[in-house]
Structure formats: C-alpha cells, structure tokens
Amino acid sequence: MRKYTGKIVVITGAGSGMGRSYALELARRGADLALNDHDEAALMQTASLLPHATRVVLGSFDVAVREDTYAFADQVATALGNADVVINNAGIEGGGQPIWAATESDYTRTMSVNFYGVVHGTRAFLPQVVATKGAIVNVSSIFGLVGTPNCADYNASKFAVRGFTEALSAELLHAGVSVHLVHPDGVATNIARRDDSKVMSDKYLTTSPDHIARVVLDAIGTRRTRIVAGRSARRVWFGSRFLPQRLMAHMTWREMADAIDRSNYPAPSARGGH
C-alpha cells in the first residue's frame, strides 16, 4: 500500500524506534494515526514530531493488558472511525540468560508483551479491519527465524508471533483482509538496556528504522504475507530454510561470540549421581 491518505492506522509501541518511524512516515503519507506506548513521555514526544494537520489519538498503556487494548480500540473507533491498518509493533527485549539461568518472570513478561500484546491488538481491532477490508501487520523479528543463545524467552515470543500470524493469514484468506508478518533486520533502536545488549546493538543492530518502515509500509496490502526486511534478515531466512539446524547453531555462536554473556556457561551438570 503506497497511498495512505485518509487511512486510519494503529501503531503500538510508537514511542520510539520502529514505532516512531512508522508513525512519522505514515503521517508524511497523509494517514490518521492511533498511537500507543507504555511510556507516556515518549509517546507525547512522537506526537510532537507529527505534522500539525495529522489527526491523532494517543493511548498510553501496556499492550499486555487485554482490557486496556480493547478500550483503546473503542476509543479509536469513536474518535477516528474503524481502523484500516493495525501494526502490532510493541515489544521488549528478553532476559538475556540461557534457559537454565532465566527466571520464570523473564518468560512471563517477555511473552505477555511480545506475544500476548500482538494477540490482544489483533483481536481487539479485528472487527474494524474486517469492516474496512484493511490489513493487520504483526512484527516478529530476525529472532523469529532462528534460535539464538541467551535469547530463548525472546525467541519463543517471536516464534509465537510467527505461528499466530501464519494461522491468522490462513483463517482470513477469504475475508478480504491482508495479513503480514514482519521479520525486520537488526534495527538500531533504544530497546537494548543491558551491557551485553548494547554490544549486540552496536555491532549488529545497525539498520535504520526509517528504511525498514518504508519497506514495510510499501508492502502492506500486497500479496507479500511474509515481509523479510533487510540484508541480514534475508540471509538468516535463507539459512533457516535450507541449512541444517546444527550448522545454523554453530554459525550463530561464531557470529555472536563477542555479544554473548558466557558467565552462565557451561550448562550445570547434575550432582550426587542423580
């Protein structure tokens, strides 16, 4: 979809990074916007960057909270009308620990935002998008293509988005709704907070979010259900399809060697003969 003039577009996680890039590019293309972020100050900053003529609705809440997402859908319908496009973009980084060292709360929190946030956003706005014959765009990750060390909770959340969206695409095949699954390249955003995440960001997450936003927005409404955006993402997608899993694991360790916290390796062994 290249013409967004007058279209109503919902974006979660619009306070920074990819979400902000989607918002600014869509405003430039003439869309009306419904923007969400859990960080109210960041959301207001995004809103301040929009052209004065842009109609916008803001909702500061956690997408993991189902009731707040459904209330936002009602707010959007009342203030702007039924959504034409929903971009479920909100996400957080994982705990950054191997499986045996991660806590239950790491898995619960990562899944609640990265996966259930997508589920809530899809289900809350689905009646509107069906009515407008619009599009649902769910953002997975390059980590939704291949498993990586110290990222099991994040991998699981992004693979879950992948499975959910592929099923949604099949279910809406005859509904006149476009469904897109986005696997973006390593994108330079401020999602990384830990020291090891910063190493990862500085070395690998270098693609401009503005570039990815343009690629994704141009693909919405086309027959491209899966949008693999960026050179590194395309390499990983190719490898995940055609290379043996064990070889991919070796390649991942080699590629990410200086960005992986090894303090919890090797894996703990059983004690006392059990």
Q: Which of 4, 107, 154, 265 is catalytic?
A: 154
Domain boundaries in the chain? 8-259
pTM for this entry: 0.88
Average of per-residue pLDDT values in the chain:
89
Residue 199 CB neighbour total at 10 angstroms: 16
What count of Cα atoms within 13 Å lies in the side-chain half-sphere of residue 11? Answer: 27
Per-residue pLDDT tens over the stretch 125-181? 999 999 999 999 999 998 888 888 888 999 999 999 999 999 999 999 999 999 999
How many C-beta atoms lie closer than 10 Å to residue 266's C-beta?
A: 7
Active site residue 154: yes
User: Band of the pLDDT at 198, cuts 50, 70, 90?
Assistant: low
> Which architecture does CATH list for 8-259?
3-Layer(aba) Sandwich (3.40)
| C-alpha 10 chain-centroid distance | 14
